[in-house]
Amino acid sequence: MKDIYNPETFREQGYKIIDILTDYLEKATSGDIEEVLPPITPDEMLTKWSGEFPQKPTHNTEDIIKKVIGLSNHLHSPRYIGHQVSAPLPNAILSTLASSLLNNGCTIYEMGPAGTIIEKRIIQWMAKLIGYDDTSDGFLTSGGTLGNLTALLAARQAKAGYDIWSEGTKEDNKLAFLVSAQTHYCAKRAIQIMGLGEKAVVSVETDENYRMTIPAIQEAYNSAVKSGRKVIALVANAGSTATGSHDPLEEIADFCQKHDLWLHIDGAHGASALVSEKYRSLLKGIEHADSVVWDAHKMMLMPALITAVIFKNGKNSYEAFSQKASYLFEKEAREEWYNLAQRTMECTKGMMGLKLYVSLMTYGTEFFDDYITRMYDLTKKFADMIKNSPDFELAVEPQSNIICFRYLHKDSSDIKKEILTKGSFYLVQTKLKDETYLRCTIINPLTTEQTLLDLMQEIRSLQIFSTASPSFV
């Protein structure tokens, strides 16, 4: 067993793996990878991976890694413009290697002392950008879905009117959350996970720019109250998933204050604009939110997953899980701010903050400002290119680095299928007002105007044969 942990063997193998990853990074970033996503169906992929594991050593790590790379989605390719998943920074990748080796959990301080304090510093930095004071607090968790659930659990505990964590839901106290029709599905899922039922999710219709308006919010609020429900919170978007739209946060904050509602802002994608001098005004009013979710694995170029859940009143960060576990904790939760398991869904949580901390320290915040600004600017240029092309149609003016459009001479679904079949680009689709649009997230720092011109030309040149499309798309 000791041989498995031999440092020299690790060093030798590590150099080989780094060389493989470096060669891949060079190929991907230069655009030399022809197929961004290998056009292989799930059934075909299944045949390429044996489920019979050998009793004796018969394979080597390098060959398996090479195979994984060849059959993966290539996010570092400039022609990856699909979902909101970043091409991770080199320093973040190397930091992940270190955190994996150390394997220090960051839910109990003594299990991850350095990682716990690093996480605290990241939260303080983010909170300051939001506009919170020193009474704010929060933590990192595994993705926006868990982040939103945790924040809404805290909202429920704070606004239900009784200790719902201890006493459970009451039939005569039906709660409701106002949620934008454009909010990510995980918010609705979170409310239903809490056992409040589908009717507790009160949808607010959006305008032509896919943003909530105060009249629409008021109408939804009145409808919920009339049906006998107690509205306790509102979920607003700072960069919605489908279109990247930003709700008018200042106006919404005033509404929430007037009606004593918890304001939660899903800034999983768009909160990173706070780092951009040019675009931070998109989030004007975010400082009034009771809670904010912010994904660093989107516009901060981090490997997944790293999501911040930040509370304006730090005391509220303890409300979601009011639990005692004497085998882990010696004192009350608020006295042990450094034992994050009292506030997070996870009992074991990796050193997810290390990769962001290292990147902020080594690249500097100006690098992230420049990156976010360039991606938003490039999306606006792409919108102009579409508007100046009579054979294309823009769905809505982009407010971030997400853009939706369609080609007027071919069905969007068929275009997406054919492009993924060829592997020339990776993009996705969405439905807006009963019309299917192609959707791009311009997130790779190496994507250029020429890349987007090439995409438009690729779409024009497609010969659509829908029967040739693989089932995975």
Q: Encode pLDDT of 274-300 as tens digits.
A: 999 999 999 999 999 999 999 999 999
93 and 116 together in one domain: no
Q: Which letter, b or e, does each residue of 68-78 get, where b requires 16 or more Cβ atoms within 10 Å of its Cβ? A: ebeeeebbbbb
Among 350, 373, 389, which residue terminates a domain? 350
pLDDT of the residue at 279:
98
Q: Looking at the domain assignment, is residue 172 inside a domain?
A: yes
Same domain, 115 and 254: yes
pTM over 0.75: yes
**What percentage of the chain reaches a pLDDT higher than 70?**
95
Residues 260 and 409 in one domain: no
In a domain, 357, yes or no: no
Structural domain contains residue 230: yes
**Average pLDDT for 63-83:** 96
- Residue 324 pLDDT level (bands cut at 50, 70, 90): very low
pLDDT of residue 334: 61
CATH number of residue 111's parent domain = 3.40.640.10
**Does residue 332 register a pLDDT over 90?**
no
CATH of the domain at 402: 3.90.1150.170
Same domain, 295 and 380: no
Q: Which residue has the higher pLDDT, 170 or 78?
A: 78
Residue 356 lies in a domain: no
86 and 125: one domain? no
- Mean pLDDT calculated for residue range 249-256: 98
In this prediction, residue 323 carries a pLDDT of 47
The closest of 187, 245, 256, 189 to 220, measured between CA atoms, is 256
- At 376-393, the pLDDT tens digits run 999 999 999 999 999 999
Residue 472 confidence (pLDDT) above 90: no
Residues 87 and 113 in one domain: no
Residue 430 — pLDDT band, cuts 50, 70, 90?
Answer: very high
Average pLDDT along the chain: 92
Q: Do 339 and 260 lie in a common domain?
A: yes
Give the pLDDT mean for 10-15. Answer: 95
Q: Does residue 17 sit within a domain?
A: yes
Residues 198 and 172 in one domain: yes
- Domain boundary pick from 293, 318, 350: 350
Q: Rounded distance, CA 118 to CA 197, Å?
A: 38
Rounded percentage of the chain residues whose pLDDT exceeds 90: 80
- Residues with Cβ within 8 Å of 172's Cβ and at least 6 positions away in sequence, in order, are none
Looking at 315, 350, 385, which one is the last position of a domain? 350
Determine, yes or no, domain membership for 187: yes
What's the pLDDT at 184? 84
Question: How high is the pLDDT of residue 333?
Answer: 55
Residue 455: inside a domain, yes or no? yes
Residue 149: give the domain boundaries.
105-350
Q: Are residues 393 and 466 in the same domain?
A: yes
Q: What pLDDT is recorded for position 467?
A: 43
In terms of domains, do 266 and 184 share one? yes
Helix (H) and strand (E) counts in the chain: 15, 11
Tokens of 401: 């680095």
232 and 160 Cβ atoms separated by less than 8 Å: yes
pLDDT at 185: 84
C-alpha 388/C-alpha 214 separation (Å) is: 34
Residue 355 covered by a domain: no
With bands split at pLDDT 50, 70 and 90, how would you rate the model's confidence at 204? Answer: very high
346 and 404 belong to one structural domain: no
Alpha helices, DSSP H, located in 244-295: 249-258
336 confidence band (pLDDT: 50, 70, 90): confident
* DSSP annotation string for 49-67: S-----SS----HHHHHHH
Question: Looking at residue 335, what is its pLDDT?
Answer: 65
Identify whether residues 19 and 139 lie together within a single domain: no
User: Would you place residue 137 in the very low, low, confident or very high pLDDT band (cuts 50, 70, 90)?
Assistant: very high
Number of domain units in the chain: 2
